[in-house]
Amino acid sequence: MAVRVQLPPRVHNPDLFTNRYQLLQLFQMNDSTKIRRGLKEDLPRVLDLIKELAEYEKAPHEVINTIDKMVIDGFGPNPIYGFFVAENENGVVGLSLYYWRYSTWKGKRLYLEDIIVTEKERGKQIGKRLFERTMKHALDENCSGMMWQVLDWNEPAINFYKKYGTLIQNDWMNCTLESSQIEALLDAIEKEA
């Protein structure tokens, strides 16, 4: 497997290093961004990243989640999601949020809800590292695979996922009912009965 490393600006002669391992160590020492499991204390910044993504996707009004809900849902007695963060000297700059899904055909799957890297930190391989850490987690948890969605107009994301040989399907449609709709429907059904 070939490893492609972009040298930090102050390194001009890669022949100074006797092997790839030394070169990779130098690169890693100069990259202060660490990928780690998310903690409850990260949630305020996580919600900021979620709102930043919503702005990018032209849907800021869609974000109704709160830190209190995220604490209960991720750190309560029955956590329903997990996440990894990318952190450097600027704080938490990236996020990979996932949860478990069960396929009747394939069994346990990891569902990747979002990968978000704050705009100022893009182009530094942070999204790649978050994605690869999430892939490893799927295998560590004995999942049969991973699933996620990508907006059809988000060409940078589509191209990123294609680099991994991702199967991008066009034959499935997303279906959604909001809680207010469910309540209204069930009320109507109850009144008819």
Q: Residues 124, 33: contact at Cβ < 8 Å?
A: yes
Q: Which amino acid is at 171?
A: D
Question: Is the Cα dihedral 25, 27, 28, 30 positive or negative?
Answer: positive
Contact 35, 86 (CB under 8 A): yes
Q: Is 161 an annotated catalytic residue?
A: yes
Give strand pairing partners of 147: 111
* Annotated active-site residue in 81, 99, 111, 161: 161
- The answer to whether 137 and 109 are in contact (CB under 8 A) is no
Q: Which residues pair with 117 in a beta bridge?
A: 94
Q: For helices 43-56 and 67-75, give the axis angle rounded to 10 degrees.
A: 110
Distance CA 108, CA 125 (A): 28
Of 101, 118, 117, 121, residue with least CA distance to 109:
101
Instruction: Please give the positions annotated as active site.
Output: 161
